[in-house]
Structure 1
């Protein structure tokens, strides 16, 4: 066996050690719905989340309605998010969304560079046309 074969065999065996998937336990949180910068509604919700191999997801259940957000993340840490209205079993075409942050007390938008100085953050998703703007604590 030459060194090239050994290196390929080692790389193939170590690949499962380099990537993994995880899911977090379901959490009861507070969800916030916005219309522009106006808080429309605050209510209890259940959030399921997880990720692996460059992707993340967050499934938010408010009452009997599901909101599934999936993100594909690059090496730079930036993620492109898709929104699946109706949750994971829905046949509705996904919509592109942006993620952003809000201050948990005053509900003002927070720049990522300012997030370290904020006391409470809301993690938000918004469709480009503004038809959905939802945040969790």
Structure 2
């Protein structure tokens, strides 16, 4: 009878420590800095000069939702914000592909590129992979 009770107790303790319980635990990334991270993309024309773009969009391909951001005051015409720390919870810890699309105002050429951004429980949003610059022809 004691062995049966001990076995039952072990089953209860093990199920309380299962991965499902830990997956619902709140994020605890540890010590974080007070900086505010921003991930952006620089758009240039074929001569390498800043390109004024229209119809800029950044779509999280995991959720198929547009990432909403605000422009940075005083930034140059060729730079657009893809995501900031305000968008961090929209991304997983491992990272998600984001399709960035823009049209060159001068030539009406539209180009897209995919970058991978990570967030989730991290202290700040980060770029895992992808280019920093998109050049129009």
Q: Same fold (TM over 0.5)?
A: no
Give the TM-score taking structure 2 as reference length: 0.30
Higher relative contact order by CA 8 Å / sep ≥ 6: 1 or 2? 2
From the CA coordinates, give the structure whose radius of gyration is larger: 2
Structure number having the greater strand percentage: 1
Give the TM-score taking structure 1 as reference length: 0.30
